[in-house]
């Protein structure tokens, strides 16, 4: 690259830097409030590269065209107005920086509060200690009843008393005798009513609505 080309490129860069500085100083005076470099870059909608914004702010601050003050890990920049004293501007910068820090702390505490509220909601929905104690006691009692029942079944102990078994057998014999008697009565009556084939007999029973023991799987004779 020739010397003339290098000088031309350098001059173009200086012109751009000067233009950026003018835009940034004008912006700060128009807004009349402190900003950090990131806020200025965002508010200018990316019309100036962030690196150029940072460089221009540092240069104009060195030239005493704007005021800069380091607060914590960031640098705050503010316009210089003729009717304001240096002390007024510094106070404003400090207040702005303090406000920004407070807002960050507020956002952090809101996140912490959100997490605590979520934990509280979970605890609120969970059963209380008293409820859990009642549930455990109930389950323990039910388990004991089932365990006692299992012990009886495992021992082979006769669960139904002999007297009750005998009563059940007697009832079965009586019911079976009654069934045989009624079945015989039906067969006699049906024989007098119907004297056709077996197929026709079943059709007629179906039409009349007669349901035999065999139809429902009952076999008392066995």
Whether residue 99 is found in the same domain as residue 43: yes
Whether residue 21 is found in the same domain as residue 111: yes
Res 125: pLDDT: 83
Whether residue 193 is found in the same domain as residue 151: no
- Assess if residue 121 is contained within a domain: no
Residue range(s) defining the domain that contains residue 151: 127-159
Res 41: pLDDT: 92
- Assess if residue 122 is contained within a domain: no
Over range 117-122, report the average pLDDT.
86
More confident residue, 161 or 6: 161
- Assess if residue 221 is contained within a domain: no
Whether residue 12 is found in the same domain as residue 98: yes
Has residue 84 got a pLDDT over 70?
no
Whether residue 11 is found in the same domain as residue 101: yes
Whether residue 112 is found in the same domain as residue 13: yes
Res 141: pLDDT: 92
Whether residue 87 is found in the same domain as residue 104: yes
Res 154: pLDDT: 80
Q: Out of 14-18, 79-83, 181-185, 195-199, give the one with best mean pLDDT.
A: 181-185
pLDDT band at 124 (very low <50, low <70, confident <90, very high): confident
How is residue 128 annotated by DSSP?
Answer: P
Res 150: pLDDT: 84
Res 33: pLDDT: 84
Res 171: pLDDT: 92
Whether residue 86 is found in the same domain as residue 168: no
What percent of the chain has pLDDT above 70? 85
Whether residue 136 is found in the same domain as residue 195: no
- Please, are residues 80 and 89 in contact by the beta-carbon 8 Å criterion? yes
The average confidence (pLDDT) of the chain is 81
Query: Residue ranges of the alpha helices (H) in 32-128?
Result: 37-43, 50-62, 86-125
Over range 186-201, report the average pLDDT.
77
**Cα 27–11–8 angle (5° rounding)?**
145
- For residue 126, what are its two tokens? 């969970």
Whether residue 177 is found in the same domain as residue 103: no
- Assess if residue 2 is contained within a domain: no
Whether residue 167 is found in the same domain as residue 203: yes
Instruction: Write out the DSSP string of 137-169.
Output: HHHHHHHHHHHHHHHHHHHT---S-HHHHHHHH
pLDDT digits (tens, 9 = 90+) for 136-166: 999 999 999 998 888 877 877 777 788 888 8
Return the CATH number at 60: 1.10.10.10
- Assess if residue 88 is contained within a domain: yes
- Assess if residue 104 is contained within a domain: yes
């Amino acid at each position: 690259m020739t010397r003339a080309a290098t000088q031309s490129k350098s001059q173009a860069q200086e012109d751009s830097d000067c233009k950026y500085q003018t835009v940034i100083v004008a912006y700060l005076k128009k807004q009349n409030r402190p900003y950090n470099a990131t806020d200025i870059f965002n508010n200018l909608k990316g019309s100036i590269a962030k690196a150029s914004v940072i460089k221009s702010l540092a240069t104009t601050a060195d030239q005493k065209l704007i005021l800069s003050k380091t607060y914590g890990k960031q640098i705050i920049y503010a316009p210089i107005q003729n009717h304001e004293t240096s002390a007024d501007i510094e106070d404003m910068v400090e207040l702005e920086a303090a406000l920004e820090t407070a807002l960050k702390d507020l956002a952090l505490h809101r996140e912490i509060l959100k997490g605590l509220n979520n934990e509280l909601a979970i605890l609120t929905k969970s059963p209380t200690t008293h409820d859990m104690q009642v549930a455990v006691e109930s389950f323990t009692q039910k388990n004991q009843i089932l365990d006692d029942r299992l012990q009886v079944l495992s021992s082979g102990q006769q669960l139904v008393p002999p007297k009750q078994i005998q009563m059940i057998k007697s009832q079965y014999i009586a019911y079976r005798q009654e069934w045989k008697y009624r079945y015989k009565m039906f067969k006699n009556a049906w024989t007098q009513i119907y004297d056709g084939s077996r197929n026709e007999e079943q059709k007629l029973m179906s039409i009349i609505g007669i349901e035999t023991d065999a139809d429902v799987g009952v076999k008392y004779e066995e």
